[in-house]
Structure formats: C-alpha cells, structure tokens
Amino acid sequence: MLYHVVCPAKYRQKVFTDPVEQTLREVCAEIGQRYEMHFVEIGMDEDHAHFLMQSVPAVLPSAIVRTIKSITAREIFFRHPEVKKMLWGGQFWTSGYYINTVGKHGNEVVIGKYVREQGKTYKQIYRQRLKLFSGI
C-alpha cells in the first residue's frame, strides 16, 4: 500500500530546522530497515512533515503513524534537546494526522513531487532574508 501521511508538530511550532530535518530523515531510514515500511519521499514545511511511504496491507495505517511518530519524536528530543524546550508538555507531534492511500499509477508522481517540494518556498524566502540582514 502507498500512503500519503501528514503530521503536524505540536502547537504547530516551527521546529523543522535543517538539523531536525536531517535527523527526521535518518530516523525514517532506520524505521524503514526495522519495519515493513519504505519511505518514498519525505518533505517538511516549517511546522509539519509529509511522508509518501509504502507498507504491507497487513499493517494498519494507524499503526504505521504511531510507529513513525513515537520513534521520530524520541530521537529528535534526544538529538536536539533545544526542540523539547520549544514544545512544552513533552510531545513532539500533535495527536492528529492525515493519511490517505495513493494510487500507484495515477497519483504517485504528483503526490511525490508535492511531498518533495514541501517548505522550499519558505526556505528560499528565509535564506534571502538572512542574506539581506547579514550583508552577504
């Protein structure tokens, strides 16, 4: 099964910095090796993450999301303690999420591109402002 999953950060905080994004990608690669999951694309905006992923039909969608959210939250808090300070209450993800199946032949390319492009506009604007204020 091919799924499009969207998980917002708790309180919609803007926690997905470049180091946090890198950690999330590394942890998802580890999850893919240990569980019957394959991450086709991972994209992040400043306050939420998109996953285009495959899993076997025997695994419930809720179990997939629970696995991703619990392991990634634990590792991000461990590797980036500053994020835990931003998210009072000790949770990284909101309790909700979006998940939908994706048709292999009709939508995989379109949704894959959408997931891959997440946050690029925001990052371009942020880098331009950084250059403007730093005098680069």
Q: What angle do CA 82, 87, 89 make, to 5 degrees?
A: 125
The token pair at 84 is 């835990």
Domain ranges in the chain are 2-134
Closest CA to 67 of 120, 128, 19, 3: 3
Q: What is the pLDDT of residue 16?
A: 96
Angle between helices 18-34 and 61-79 (to 10 degrees): 130
Q: What is the pLDDT of residue 59?
A: 94
Q: What is the pLDDT of residue 98?
A: 96
Averaged pLDDT in 10-residue chunks for the chain of 136 residues: 95 95 97 95 95 94 97 97 90 96 72 78 59 58
Q: What is the pLDDT of residue 118?
A: 80
Q: So what CATH class is 2-134?
A: alpha beta
Q: Give the helix ranges, DSSP H, for the chain.
A: 18-34, 61-79, 81-86, 108-116, 120-134
Q: What is the pLDDT of residue 112?
A: 79
Q: What is the pLDDT of residue 88?
A: 83
* Stated length of the chain: 136
Closest CA to 10 of 35, 46, 47: 47
- Exposure b/e, 45-72, CB count within 10 A at least 16 = b: bbbbbbbbbbbeeeeeeeebbebbbebb
Q: What is the pLDDT of residue 69?
A: 98
